[in-house]
Amino acid sequence: MNLACEDEIAPKTVINKRPFQRTTCVCHGESYSENSPAQRGGEERLDRDVQRHNEVPAAHQISKASIHVDETAYRCIAVMDRWRGRVALVTGASVGIGAAVAKELVRCGMKVVGCARNVDKIQELAAECKKAGYTGVLVPIKCDLTKEDDILAMFATIKQQHKGVDVLINNAGLAHPDPLLSGKTSGWRNMLDVNVLALSICAREAYQSMKERNVDDGHIINLNSVAGHVVHPISGAHFYAGTKHTVTALTEGLRQELHEAKSHIRATSISPGFVETEFADRYLQDKNLAQQMLSQQKNLTAGDIAETVVYVLGAPPHVQIGELLIRPVEQQM
Nearer residue to ligand NAP within complex by CB, 3 or 154 = 154
Residue type, 232: H
Nearer residue to ligand NAP within complex by CB, 28 or 229 = 229
Nearer residue to ligand NAP within complex by CB, 150 or 252 = 150
DSSP-assigned letter for residue 125: H
Query: Can 240 be counted among the known catalytic residues?
Result: yes
Neighbours of 201 (CB within 10 A): 17
Residue nearest ligand NAP, Cβ-based: 173
Which one of 32, 134, 207, 240 is the catalytic residue?
Answer: 240
Shortest distance (Å) from residue 161 CB to ligand NAP = 19
Nearer residue to ligand NAP within complex by CB, 272 or 314 = 272
Shortest distance (Å) from residue 250 CB to ligand NAP = 13
Q: Of the candidates 287, 297, 298, 278, which has an alpha carbon nearest to the alpha carbon of residue 96?
A: 278
Shortest distance (Å) from residue 11 CB to ligand NAP = 30
Exposed, middle or buried by CB within 10 Å (0-12, 13-18, 19+), for 273?
A: buried
Shortest distance (Å) from residue 97 CB to ligand NAP = 4
Type and span of the H or E element at 48: helix 43-53
Q: Which chain residues interact with ligand NAP by CB under 6 A?
A: 92, 94-98, 116-118, 143-146, 171-174, 194, 223, 225, 272, 274-275, 277-279, 282
**What HEC string does 70-90 produce?**
CHHHHHHHHHHHHHCCCEEEE
Residues 22, 85: contact at Cβ < 8 Å?
Answer: no
CA–CA gap between residue 240 and residue 227 (Å, rounded): 8
Active site residues: 240
